[in-house]
A and B are shown apart, each in its own frame.
Chain A
Amino acid sequence: DSHTQYERVGADVTMKCGSMDWDAAVTWTANGTDIDESHLNGSYLILKNVDLTQSGQYSCYEGSSWHLKYQTCLRVGTPPKEPVLMCRSNNYPKGFYCSWHLPTPTYIPNSFNISVIHGTREMVCEKDAFPKNRCHVRYLQLFSTVKYKVTLTVTNALGKNSTTLTFDEVAIVKPDPPESVVAKPVPNNPRRLEVSWQNPSSWPDPESFPLKFFLRYRPLILDQWQHVELSDGTSHTITDAYAGKEYIIQVAAKDNDIGTWSDWSVAVHATPWTEEPKHLTTEAQITETTSASTSSFMPPPTTKICDKGAVVGSGAVAVCWTAGLVLAAYGVLFI
């Protein structure tokens, strides 16, 4: 018959060959490989200071007949350290969820037991299908003065450990970040960006439990963020953007009155509207055709002044315009 044996890392393990006498002649194998006699004390197998690599299938065979006398699966691991527990309400006022994990692996199977106590009442924390280490509690009452006490116990073959969280109903409220953040340039407005977003879909009742928002934005080239707090509405127009610069924008949400701010939303990028130097191209075409039909005096139209890189703000655009006009004027004069 075979079974499983759990041992701590660093322990000394003695395996007996079933009911065989101490002085019987036996052969031990580890995962099919013969084990050297130096590890034997009679028919007992001695493993000193075991480590994780020594986990595996150990079998004991009677010396001459090679009958399998004993088999065990050795699993080397550690007892659990204090687990990390977190509880949060991202769907107020429906309820809250708690999730947990171990700070270091134990290398052997662990079982978790969670208890939620509210005053004198024990509440049910329904395990989520996914992710695994998570369960959720439904509020039966709102605006409670009594704290919630959540205790998580983790147990394995080598020991157990636990941790407890105590909190007020309103203290753990933290919405998910806003969704579908979109930032668009505003036509004919080189310093504006229109940002819009949606309430997180996990927030069940924004009508009765409105959210307020925090917007932050900066051009990619600068480190300093600018902030705007908005008490309602799910859109905002930035009016002081640096023309032509690409911006990074994020939004966070919070219940109007209680709890803490959500994490920042996914960042979106946008560049304010800039004017295309279209008219310059048109003028250049005219000068080209005129110079071809009349004289070679007309200097070839250069776009050097109006390099894309040099176009920073409307001032430079005006220079391009003027240059284009001047060239056009010369062209016309020499028809």
Chain B
Amino acid sequence: GDSWGIFTFLCAALCNLPALPALNCTEELGAGQSIQKTYDLTRYLEHQLRTLAGTYLNYLGPPFNEPDFNPPRLARAERVPSATVDLDLWRGLTDNARLAANYRAYSRLLCYLRALDGQAGTAELRHRLGHFCSSLQGLVLSIAGVMSSLGYPLPAGPAGPPMPSGTPVAPNDFLKKMDDFWLLKELQTWLWRSAKDFNRLKKKVPPAVVTLRLEARGF
């Protein structure tokens, strides 16, 4: 079926990267379990990010590592997908829209994060970043899994490739660091938001519903 196709595509598309996805493409988790797994992943990543961000901001140096640092948002920072959303709008999101927003956001955040990889200071920091990227990739796959098990199409546009061409490189060192600062901030905020997104999904999608859907699609 369609889901099978999506799984294989994802595995193929992302298999050329150093960290192979651990997902067994033949597994068919009930959506309820997948949502729980995705929720757990966001919590794990949020926890990981706390340590990683602390280390990275220290590497960037002051003022980026100061707790009160609260710079204004520059226009260039708008490229990074924002988790900020109007309350009523967020409440009213359909399951599909909710999942799609998460999928798109983390796909792009993963791209940007990968770009940090080669430039970071110490080998240890690069190693930590690499590990985090692998985990984040796992999250993207997990969300894709939930979407396909619920019969939703994955948002258009590839998940894997590098930054879209024509992206202006930061003109100076300080602005480059600002970009990094905002990237980490958005990532952190997305992880806070995703926990709430997946909480809502957990309540709305009981496993029984999924079984019926899978049967209807001839699984």
Complex interface residues of chain B between 164 and 219 (CB less than 8 A to chain A):
182, 185-186, 188-190, 192-193, 195-196, 199-200, 203
**Cα A129 to Cα B164 with chains together (Å):** 54
Q: Output the nearest chain A residue to B70 by Cβ-Cβ distance.
A: A147
Are B182 and A142 touching (Cβ within 8 A)? no
**Cα A120 to Cα B73 with chains together (Å):** 9
Are A141 and B86 touching (Cβ within 8 A)? yes
Q: Output the nearest chain B residue to A146 by Cβ-Cβ distance.
A: B73
Q: Output the nearest chain B residue to A149 by Cβ-Cβ distance.
A: B70
Q: Which of A120, A144, A146, A166 has the most CB of B within 10 A?
A: A146
Complex interface residues of chain A between 196 and 234 (CB less than 8 A to chain B):
207-210
Are B185 and A145 touching (Cβ within 8 A)? yes
**Cα A208 to Cα B204 with chains together (Å):** 10
**Cα A210 to Cα B195 with chains together (Å):** 11
**Cα A119 to Cα B185 with chains together (Å):** 14
Q: Output the nearest chain B residue to A210 by Cβ-Cβ distance.
A: B199
Complex interface residues of chain A between 112 and 162 (CB less than 8 A to chain B):
119-120, 139-147, 149
Tell yes or no: B123 within 8 A of A by CB.
Answer: no
**Cα A119 to Cα B171 with chains together (Å):** 24
Are A139 and B87 touching (Cβ within 8 A)? yes
Tell yes or no: B85 within 8 A of A by CB.
Answer: yes
Are A142 and B85 touching (Cβ within 8 A)? yes
**Cα A257 to Cα B46 with chains together (Å):** 10
Chain B nearest Cβ from A230, distance in angstroms: 16
Q: Would A143 and B193 be within 8 Å (CB), given that A149-B70, A166-B70, A208-B200 are in contact?
A: yes
Tell yes or no: B27 within 8 A of A by CB.
Answer: no
Chain A nearest Cβ from B6, distance in angstroms: 28
Contact with A along B41-62 (1 / 0, CB 8 A): 0010010000000000000000
Q: Output the nearest chain B residue to A92 by Cβ-Cβ distance.
A: B196
**Cα A142 to Cα B86 with chains together (Å):** 6
Are B185 and A257 touching (Cβ within 8 A)? no
Q: Would A143 and B192 be within 8 Å (CB), given that A166-B70, A208-B91 are in contact?
A: yes
Tell yes or no: B68 within 8 A of A by CB.
Answer: yes
Q: Output the nearest chain A residue to B202 by Cβ-Cβ distance.
A: A210
Tell yes or no: B9 within 8 A of A by CB.
Answer: no
Tell yes or no: A93 within 8 A of B by CB.
Answer: yes
Complex interface residues of chain B between 120 and 159 (CB less than 8 A to chain A):
none
Residues of A within 8 A of B68 (CB): 166
Tell yes or no: A45 within 8 A of B by CB.
Answer: no
**Cα A143 to Cα B186 with chains together (Å):** 9
Residues of A within 8 A of B70 (CB): 146-147, 149, 166
Q: Output the nearest chain A residue to B193 by Cβ-Cβ distance.
A: A143
Q: Output the nearest chain B residue to A205 by Cβ-Cβ distance.
A: B91
Are A93 and B87 touching (Cβ within 8 A)? yes
**Cα A143 to Cα B188 with chains together (Å):** 10
7 tightest A-B CB contacts, nearest first: A257-B195, A143-B193, A143-B83, A147-B70, A145-B185, A145-B189, A144-B84
Q: Which residues of chain A have a CB within 8 Å of any CB of chain B?
A: 93, 119-120, 139-147, 149, 166, 170, 207-210, 256-258
19 cross-chain CB contacts under 8 A: A119-B72, A120-B72, A140-B86, A141-B85, A141-B86, A141-B87, A142-B84, A142-B193, A143-B85, A144-B189, A145-B185, A146-B70, A146-B73, A166-B68, A166-B70, A208-B196, A208-B199, A210-B199, A257-B192
Q: Which residues of chain B have a CB within 8 Å of any CB of chain A?
A: 43, 46, 68, 70, 72-73, 82-87, 90-91, 182, 185-186, 188-190, 192-193, 195-196, 199-200, 203
